[in-house]
């Protein structure tokens, strides 16, 4: 039984809920539980979309600094791979993932939000990569996922200065995709995720993989990745259902097969 991370499923939407008082600091145990939760929802055919949520007050204040402070180079050289594997497990959930960002999403918390496909933030949210103030750099994907999202110059500004950005600036630079009143963050994220509950699960997974894999390679290779996914979907029941419904002018009922 996980202590700091729980999974709640309703209507095809799974919420991965961080609950480590009082700031959801991501210690090693929480990282392991988060990775296990990500793999659980990825493997569950009843889950069609996922919401990452830290509660009403805070998303996640980052990796547990007190825990890191006691680590040597040898310790971190060993642990850093597990740290990145945890976040990669979230990024590789083969379903639409929405981060519901309230309060602080700093350091590892910001890096966790970067693993989602879409970020909905509250008006009072603050995001950033403040690791430089500790004499280190982001180590859970921040130097790689952040520039892919907001561009290298803006990413370097945030990483070099360690400054926090408010929700309005985060929206302006593309770090978040939508800003809503703080009390509406989680409902807005669930509402967005619910649109995929009856969607073609295999096609959604293929679309996510094509985009994510294509971003890490050249255009020609990316187009081949797309072609293979596109062609493969014609072997699915959902594709036959969707194409037939279009020609018959009816609404498709997808089964996820």
pLDDT recorded at residue 68 = 86
pLDDT band at 173 (very low <50, low <70, confident <90, very high): very high
Residues of the chain with CATH 1.10.12.10: 201-248
Annotated catalytic, 111? yes
Give the position of tokens 């825990």. 67
Catalytic entry in 33, 40, 67, 131: 131
The answer to whether residue 67 scores a pLDDT higher than 90 is no
pLDDT recorded at residue 1 = 78
Annotated catalytic, 131? yes
Q: How far apart are CA 229 and CA 167, in angstroms?
A: 36
pLDDT recorded at residue 207 = 96
pLDDT recorded at residue 78 = 87
Give per-residue pLDDT as tens, 143-166: 999 999 999 999 999 999 999 999
Q: Identify which of 134, 140, 133, 105 has the alpha carbon closest to the alpha carbon of residue 119.
A: 105
pLDDT recorded at residue 143 = 97
Catalytic entry in 8, 56, 67, 111: 111
pLDDT recorded at residue 59 = 98
Q: How far apart are CA 14 and CA 96, in angstroms?
A: 11
Give me the CATH topology for the region 201-248.
Lyase 2-enoyl-coa Hydratase; Chain  A, domain 2 (1.10.12)
Residues of the chain with CATH 3.90.226.10: 5-194
Give per-residue pLDDT as tens, 190-242: 999 999 999 999 999 999 999 999 999 999 999 999 999 999 999 999 999 99
- Average per-residue pLDDT for the chain: 95
Q: How far apart are CA 20 and CA 16, in angstroms?
A: 13
pLDDT recorded at residue 64 = 87
For residues 213, 102, 26 and 18, what is the CA-based torsion angle, rounded to 10 degrees?
-90
pLDDT recorded at residue 222 = 97
Please check whether the domain covering 5-194 is classified as CATH 3.90.226.10.
Answer: yes
């Amino acid at each position: 039984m996980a202590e700091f991370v729980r999974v709640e499923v309703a209507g095809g939407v799974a919420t991965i809920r961080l609950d480590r008082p009082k700031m959801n600091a991501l210690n090693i145990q929480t990282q392991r539980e988060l990775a296990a939760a990500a793999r659980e929802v990825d493997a569950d055919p009843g889950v069609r979309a996922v919401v990452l949520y830290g509660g009403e007050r805070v998303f996640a204040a980052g990796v547990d600094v007190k825990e890191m402070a006691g680590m040597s180079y040898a310790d971190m050289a060993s642990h850093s791979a597990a740290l990145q594997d945890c976040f990669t497990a979230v990024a590789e959930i083969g379903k639409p993932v929405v981060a519901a960002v309230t309060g602080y999403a700093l350091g590892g918390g910001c890096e966790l939000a970067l693993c989602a496909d879409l970020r909905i933030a509250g008006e009072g949210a603050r995001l950033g990569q403040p690791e430089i103030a500790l004499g280190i750099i982001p180590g859970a994907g921040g130097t790689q996922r952040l520039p892919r999202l907001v561009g290298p110059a803006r990413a370097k500004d945030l990483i070099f200065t360690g400054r926090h950005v408010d929700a309005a600036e985060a929206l302006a630079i593309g770090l978040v995709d939508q800003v809503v009143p703080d009390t509406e963050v989680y409902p807005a994220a669930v509402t967005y995720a619910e649109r995929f509950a009856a969607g073609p699960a295999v096609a959604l997974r293929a679309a996510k993989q094509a985009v994510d894999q294509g971003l890490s390679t050249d255009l020609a290779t990316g187009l081949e990745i797309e072609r293979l996914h596109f062609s493969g979907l014609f072997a699915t029941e959902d594709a036959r259902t969707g194409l037939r419904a279009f020609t018959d002018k009816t609404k498709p009922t997808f089964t996820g097969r």
